[in-house]
Chain A
Amino acid sequence: MADQRDAVFNTNRNKDFLRGEYDYSHVERWCRNRAERLNYLGLPAWEMLDIIAWEKFLNRFTTIEREENQQHLMFLQANVQDVEHRLHSLYGEFDQILLTGRDRNGRRPEWPYDIVNLDYFGGFVYADLSRPKAIKKLISNQVDFQRSFLLIITQHLRDGDVIGEKAAFLDDLRRSLKSAVLESATRDAIDRVMDWYSDSEIPDSMRQALYMNVFLRDAGEAEHFDVECRPGILYSGTGKASMIHFVTDFTFRAGIAHKTSSRQSLLQLVDLGMLEVRNGTFAKPALIAPKLSSSDGGA
């Protein structure tokens, strides 16, 4: 079958780098650790570029598509790529399917999954909070099967702070961080770092990176997952849209009733900051967030 890639694929160098190298290495690591092919749940476009790139690490793949014509093209692509038998394509909105458990045809996801790749069209925080709720539901479904998983999330940086969610979040985070430390020097550093994040002059991408990682950590720990976050990665996607990308490990900790405390501390998480991909590789970020661990507290 001839390769369609050059003619119709909708991608760019930055996305190719993330998919083909950065994410690839994490998917490969998960496959190696699990010693078997991974079950995938995701929101790929009809080209299924991620599935094709990671195909040798994958077993079954469940895709969710809300556009009928896009789903039809996905069926075509699956046949052309000779993976149609491994495709379980659900029709509808991801959030709705997660929350109701079924797609528009009454089909269910094939829980549990080992890798979840949510390449969202749009941002993460909307007024109805359906996406955060759906992520929580996803984590809750995974815990029903006590299954660790790798979560990859990509989103547009265009929602801003629609409902004041992030401002409230930063206040909460400041309190959480302070309650976790006694040293006044560190408490001062927390104030300095949180003030920096709260500054309206600071690009929202910085706040978004911190917000998402803390959100994922909280949601995971509440369901007995040890959550290991990585820096959000800023890049310019197709159509020069600003995108942010997260790769997070959720490792289930069996035999505990209390809320899990991840090996990665909250302070370490704050210090993850953000990375940037330009021209198909990692580049020095235009702006570096202050760190709690640095002696000057990021001042």
Chain B
Amino acid sequence: MNDIWQGVQEAFSLIFTADGEVMRIVALSLAVSVSALVLSAAVGIPLGIWLAFRRFASRRLAIAFLYTGMGFPPVVVGLVVFLLLSRSGPLGWSGWLYTPKAMVLAQVIIAAPIIAGFTMVAVMAVNRNLRRQARSLGANNLQVTMTMLQEARVGMLVAVLAGFGRILSEVGAVMIVGGNLKGSTQVLTTATVQFTRMGLFERSIAMGMILLTLTFLTSLLWVLLQGGALQES
């Protein structure tokens, strides 16, 4: 127990003295995570909205694929991306392996289906009567869509938050395609694994505390964004 407490104390000092190595890891984590989130949302939200509104022949099959993507083991995504980007793989010429680009790619593949799935469900949950109402008040197609999306905004924000959570917590895939290279692809999660393996527990505790704080701050931000909509029942 003493060991743990000592680790926590040293972790605090590492964080508050802005230890160089720790700051580098945090900066890289944020850069990779935010990039991955923006790209995942750019892909996932339109896809989710499209699946919610559009009726087409193989829609159910498409949704089944989407659900599969949501539940798919992330480490397998990491393996596939690795095999594609490896020297002996089809995309080896890109030089993306063991760079942040590969990490962002893997995380977009992992998170986009999650964002798409939750967005789709949120939009589908909007009362269809709203559409009739809006039309009866003279709204055109675009205005109807925007009205429905406004109603779904709480759910859509949760979709993005879920995607961010997934991205921030990913270890295996990011380790495989990123390589945990010090100063270039070492992020909070892979650093936690490394420091734990090396027995540098105060460092891995520091990583864990930062991850927790980031998650909490993001959630706070999200609650603020959801604003009044959360009060409506």
Q: Please determine whether chains A and B interact with each other in the same assembly.
A: no
